[in-house]
Amino acid sequence: MLLQANLPLIAILRGIKPDEALEHIAAVIDAGFDIVEIPLNSPQWEQSIPAIVQAFGCKALIGAGTVLKPEQVDVLAEMGCKLIVTPNICCEVIRKAVAYGMAVCPGCATATEAFTALEAGAQSLKIFPSSTFGPNYIKALKAVLPPDIPVFAVGGVTPDNLSQWINAGCIGAGLGSDLYRAGQSVDRTVRQATLFVNAYQEAIR
């Protein structure tokens, strides 16, 4: 499965709780998002992820982030999760997710890590933390990567700088604290999601 979407922006809702997940995820999907990630260091993700798969699995690619262990992939596959996002390169995690037919977007920083992930079967890559390396670094890294591999900038992406990452060759970005911070209101989630959607549409004109 390839990481395909109408809007190549990943909504990362780190820290969201089960009793608020549905409302916030409905908000980002209504704004135009169709990739959603709940990191596994969020409270009671074992409840949130199945609930949002059931509620929104037909509208969006529902995924889990901060996936570190192969056995977590087994649990997530049983929940109906379709996307695995990692902060690092663990070939066993990548291979297991691919075997389940999941989309995999592992985090990498160097060419060695990127090619290791691709050899294990990853269909896309996230450069993390992007803000540390900058757009010029990603542009240089893209020059040696296969041209058909989607690259996402993750870490420090805002509506104001999203165009820099797109211009550097990223297909899109993963959006964390500038989109959602634990405990924020649904109204803020709506505002930030709309800003990001508008920024992306402006960046690709």
Residues marked active site are found at 37, 126
Among candidate residues 101, 75, 70, 110, the one with its CA nearest the CA of residue 86: 70
Burial of 205 (0-12, 13-18, 19+ CB in 10 A): exposed
* Tokens 């993750």, residue located: 154
Exposure of 26 by Cβ count < 10 A (0-12 exposed, 13-18 middle, 19+ buried)?
middle
Instruction: Give the Å distances, CA to CA, from 116 to 86, 110, 132, 145.
Output: 14, 10, 21, 12
Peptide bond into 129 cis (omega under 30): yes
How big is the CA angle at 72 (ends 71 and 76), to the nearest 5 degrees?
Answer: 120
d(CA 18, CA 159): 27
Q: How far is CA 50 from the centre of its chain?
A: 17
Distance between CA 96 and CA 91 in Å, rounded?
8
C-alpha 187: how far from chain center:
22
